[in-house]
Amino acid sequence: MAIILGIESSCDESAAALIGSDRSILAHRLAGQEDAHRPYGGVVPEIAARAHVQVLTPLIEAALKDAGLTLDDVDAVAATAGPGLIGGVMVGLVTAKALAMAAGKPLIAVNHLEGHALSPRLADASLEFPYLLLLVSGGHCQILRVDGVGQYRRLATTIDDAAGEAFDKTAKILGLGYPGGPRVEALARTGDARAVPLPRPLLGSAEPHFSFAGLKSAVLRASQSGNYRPEDIAASFQAAVVDCLVDRLEKALNAPLDQSSPPPSVPSEVEGRLTEGSTRSLDFARELGMGQKPRTLVVAGGVAANGAIRSALEALAARHDMGFVAPPLWLCTDNAAMIGWAGAERFALGLTDPLDIAARPRWPLDPLAEAARGAGVKA
């Protein structure tokens, strides 16, 4: 069994974990920053980066102690290398580089989105490729076909704001405080989802993309009007998000299987570092998903912790005779276990990285995907 040290610092969660390649979570330590950011109603990048500097090393030491291990027992060090707030990403990646160099261990630079994309496989050993993934978080809202490790085809994205960002903005409008998503969901349970006439952007459109900027503006106007109770606004907003997610996924699920374009090839610099056995494994992973409809609908990312969204997606999967997988709630939000597991999946294929690899504020899972029509730089 390989043991991977995972490090996460892409936003406002500092975390360290020891993950076994047999899916065992040997240790997990996490330090949030809610108190530091609450006065500002959102994450302040400089405050977040400084907090990572202060707590990350003690967290790693505590995780190793919890697992009864030393750095010598670790087979590789995996850390988020992007996307995210670049200051925090740099803190975690530089820490991982120092540990890897000092202990003579391989470094694995993990795409934070790949951590989310593969986290359901940590929680459910039966989940096989290919699967259809709805990745919903504070900064991303995408539908992806996951054919294997490193093999992602983006089918849809947001053309403006992510669903999680819309939840946070709605919480701020309603004066609910930070973090916003869980507070909007809690308030929505006491409201009438039909009370406030809110739009469903792009509902029924030909392309399965998302848009939430207009919905945020409608929530602001409803709140400023003084005609609606906050709990009704929260419930109506959440219902609008659910309707949009379900409609866009329906469009993606009903789209014909495209066999003309294979999954993106592995970059030449990565291919050159693969061993012969790893190359065969990666080729097999590529071929496995070709020509197959995904049999499972998977949701991941921070917004995947929302109960109303989970219930609606589970019903959608049942209508399409698909399996449905959602990670445990704690594995949906940012954590080091998913980074360690993504590292374990990549390590098994021989995918490691040089110590001079750079942190990246933006890092798409499918770099060959065409830009969505009308999308801004965030998409």
pLDDT for the residue 80: 98
Contacts of 220 (CB under 8 A, 6+ apart): 173
Contacts of 183 (CB under 8 A, 6+ apart): 171, 176, 177
**What CATH number is given to the structural domain containing 18?**
3.30.420.40
The answer to whether residue 94 scores a pLDDT higher than 50 is yes
Mean pLDDT of 71-98: 97
Q: What is the pLDDT of residues 257-313, one digit of tens each?
A: 554 344 444 444 444 444 443 443 444 344 444 557 899 999 999 999 999 999 999
Residue labelled with tokens 């977040």: 48
Residue 277 belongs to a domain: no
Residue 243 belongs to a domain: yes
Q: Which two three-digit tokens encode residue 378? A: 């965030």
* CA nearest to 150, candidates 255, 328, 274: 274
Instruction: Give the integer Cα–Cα distance in Å for 51 and 11.
Output: 10
Based on the fold, state whether residues 218 and 113 are members of the same structural domain: no
pLDDT for the residue 377: 52
The answer to whether residue 349 scores a pLDDT higher than 90 is yes
Q: What is the pLDDT of residues 187-226, one digit of tens each?
A: 999 999 999 999 999 999 998 999 999 999 999 999 999 9
Based on the fold, state whether residues 320 and 345 are members of the same structural domain: no
pLDDT for the residue 259: 43
Based on the fold, state whether residues 322 and 339 are members of the same structural domain: no
Per-chain mean pLDDT for the chain? 90
The answer to whether residue 111 scores a pLDDT higher than 60 is yes
pLDDT for the residue 162: 95
Least confident of 40-49, 181-190, 329-338, 344-353: 40-49
pLDDT for the residue 289: 46
Residue 260 belongs to a domain: yes
Based on the fold, state whether residues 110 and 241 are members of the same structural domain: no
H helices of 131-229, in order, are 163-173, 180-188, 213-225
Domain that holds residue 91: 1-124+332-379
Residue labelled with tokens 């699967």: 131
Mean pLDDT of 77-88: 97
Alpha-carbon torsion 332, 336, 338, 339, what sign? positive
* Res. 178 pLDDT band, cuts 50 70 90: confident
Q: Indicate the number of domains in the chain.
A: 2
Cα angle 234, 251, 255; round to 5: 160
